[in-house]
Amino acid sequence: MWKVCYKKNKKFYALKEMSKAKIVEKKSQNSVKYERELLSKIRHPFIVNMIFCFQDRENLYLVMDLLTGGDLRYHVSRHKRFSEDQTKFFVACILLALDYLHTNNILHRDIKPENLVLDEKG
């Protein structure tokens, strides 16, 4: 992931770069295509959203929300324990995101602390 600044709104985004050669080598064309299509359809405050995508001869690029607050695994290892209010907040955010996905017939197959990322406000 790279951090990029969009000049028009002076906001920072994450840039996911995927090598076309590696995608073909790993026979991942369908999954990458599905990821892009899926990300273009969803929009939710508790999900990392794709802003836009583009490509050049060698790579595909996804411009996405930049979340700089670290992942939940990092925070669990650092704090060891959360307050009841913090725990309720995290659980509520996760449930709202999952409800949104399930309402749109999307199943997330890899929910784990490393994949739960926080913004700069937590």
Catalytic residues: 110
Query: What is the token pair recorded at 71?
Result: 């992942």
Which amino acid, one-letter code, is at 2?
W
**Phi then psi for 87, rounded to 5 degrees?**
-65, -45
* DSSP secondary structure letter of residue 7: T
Within 10 Å of residue 78's Cβ, how many Cβ atoms? 8
Alpha-carbon distance 3 to 6, whole Å? 10
Alpha-carbon distance 25 to 28, whole Å? 8
